[in-house]
Amino acid sequence: MLRLPHSRPSRRARVSVVIPCYNYERYVEASIQSALAQRDVDVDVTVVDDASTDDSAHVVAQICERDTRVRLIRHATNLGHLKTANEAIQSATGEFVVKLDADDLLTPGSLARSAVLLLSHPDVGFAYGYASDFQGEPPQIEDRAAGYWKLRQGDEWLRRVLRRAHNVITQPEIMIRRDALLEIGTAYDERLPWAEDYHLWLRLAARWNVGYVGGCVQGLYRVHCQSIMRSAKDLHLSDLRARVDATRLFLESSPEISRRYSHLALSALARDTRILLASRREDNETPAATIAEYRRISLELEKMSGMRPCQAPATWDGTIGRALRTLREKVRWRRWRLTGV
């Protein structure tokens, strides 16, 4: 459902921004300041430093001395990013929660735009918008009102996202109702080293409706070689495995969820794997073992979903298949940019 948004919150919501941090001395201050500079909401910031070996904790401690809205929790030993992220989220006391990675940024007005949607629609468990990737210096983003809201029932959002077979939220652009987090228990499942966030969104949407803040940039996602996903040996294959694992864990969470979504989710993943396989076959540098792994995953998913091997034109080799894959990605990106899925 498309709605015209209210320009400002009906009251000042309290938003807890939680920032897990490990060796991000270069970025963490900018991340914190992007939260403290937000308008029309009452912000508190908690940084959980996971025993950084650089000066990250010292940088945060200095900010704490200047601004009482910021607090630092410091680990004596490294616990890993999932335990740290869960602790950070559990430390939140605000009505709404934003988990912000220490290398990412909120855009001006981001929290107010999300908060007004959540305040206006108590049945919405989380609201998100468009997050722009950047490298190096962050772009200057104007503080502008949201152009529109896209409100969806949780079931509709789940079906669209599972059919897409990709995570549609990068992280800095999402605000979650704390009551929704309390309802599902532990935020991130520690069995998922990657795609734990995708799994979280699916679990939330199974219980709550979803809002999209359109017509503006809600977050800035920093792309650099130190990020967890960028450190993967084969990014595309690692991402595929992570999406498969997160989806299967979600489907196994209850018989009702399995009944509703298994065929849709698994067949969509199988189709996406076949398309990825076609792309990798054209790359002469892709090892034969990697090609074989894509084929194995696609066959397993097809067997589980009961579908026949996908023969869609986007899986074809040659010029036509390549052109269709390029067109498919452009259409999917535009649709995601406008509607969130």
Distance CA 11, CA 100 (A): 23
Inside any domain, residue 123: yes
User: In the listed set 224, 258, 278, which residue is the last one of a domain according to the structure?
Assistant: 224
Q: Same structural domain for residues 154 and 13?
A: yes
pLDDT in tens, 167-187: 999 989 999 999 999 999 889
Q: Same structural domain for residues 149 and 184?
A: yes
pLDDT exceeds 80 at position 325: yes
Task: Categorize the per-residue pLDDT at 2 as very low, low, confident or very high, splitting at 50, 70 and 90.
Answer: low
Q: Same structural domain for residues 284 and 185?
A: no
- Structural domain of 239: 232-327
Inside any domain, residue 338: no
118-122, 131-135, 282-286: least confidently modelled range = 282-286
Task: Categorize the per-residue pLDDT at 151 as very low, low, confident or very high, splitting at 50, 70 and 90.
Answer: very high
Q: Same structural domain for residues 209 and 254?
A: no
Q: Same structural domain for residues 218 and 265?
A: no
Inside any domain, residue 250: yes
Q: Same structural domain for residues 218 and 292?
A: no
Distance CA 241, CA 295 (A): 13
Task: Categorize the per-residue pLDDT at 232 as very low, low, confident or very high, splitting at 50, 70 and 90.
Answer: low
Q: Same structural domain for residues 195 and 273?
A: no
Q: Are 321 and 109 in contact (CB under 8 A)?
A: no
239-243, 286-290, 329-333: least confidently modelled range = 286-290
State the chain's maximal CA–CA distance in angstroms.
62
Please report the pLDDT score of residue 314 as a whole number.
84
The CATH number that applies at residue 211 is 3.90.550.10
Q: Same structural domain for residues 286 and 220?
A: no
Q: Same structural domain for residues 63 and 210?
A: yes
- Look at 234 and 153; give whichever has higher pLDDT: 153
User: In the listed set 224, 240, 271, which residue is the last one of a domain according to the structure?
Assistant: 224
Q: Which residues of 107-123 are buried (b: 16+ CB within 10 A; e: fewer)?
A: bbbbbbbbbbbbbbbee
Q: Are 202 and 180 in contact (CB under 8 A)?
A: no
Q: Are 37 and 70 in contact (CB under 8 A)?
A: no
pLDDT in tens, 268-281: 999 999 999 988 88
Inside any domain, residue 93: yes
CA atoms within 13 A on the CB side of 97: 23
Please report the pLDDT score of residue 143 as a whole number.
95
* 202: its two tokens: 């699916």
Please report the pLDDT score of residue 315 as a whole number.
83
pLDDT exceeds 80 at position 230: no
Inside any domain, residue 332: no
Q: Same structural domain for residues 129 and 263?
A: no
Distance CA 118, CA 168 (A): 19
Task: Categorize the per-residue pLDDT at 318 as very low, low, confident or very high, splitting at 50, 70 and 90.
Answer: confident
Mean pLDDT of all residues in 40-63: 97
Q: Are 19 and 32 in contact (CB under 8 A)?
A: yes
What does each C-alpha distance from 61 to 31, 43, 70 come to in angstroms?
A: 14, 18, 9
- The DSSP code sequence of 32-48 is HHHHHT-SSEEEEEEEE
User: In the listed set 189, 224, 259, which residue is the last one of a domain according to the structure?
Assistant: 224
Q: Are 11 and 119 in contact (CB under 8 A)?
A: yes
- Closest by alpha carbon to 85, among 232, 5, 189, 159? 189
Please report the pLDDT score of residue 125 as a whole number.
98
What is the phi/psi pair of residue 52, to 5°?
-60, 145
Q: Are 249 and 159 in contact (CB under 8 A)?
A: no
Please report the pLDDT score of residue 328 as a whole number.
92
- Closest by alpha carbon to 240, among 205, 279, 211? 279
Number of domains in the chain: 2
Inside any domain, residue 334: no
Inside any domain, residue 341: no
Please report the pLDDT score of residue 25 as a whole number.
96
Inside any domain, residue 339: no
Q: Same structural domain for residues 214 and 78?
A: yes
Determine the 3-state secondary structure of 115 from DSSP: helix
Q: Same structural domain for residues 125 and 45?
A: yes
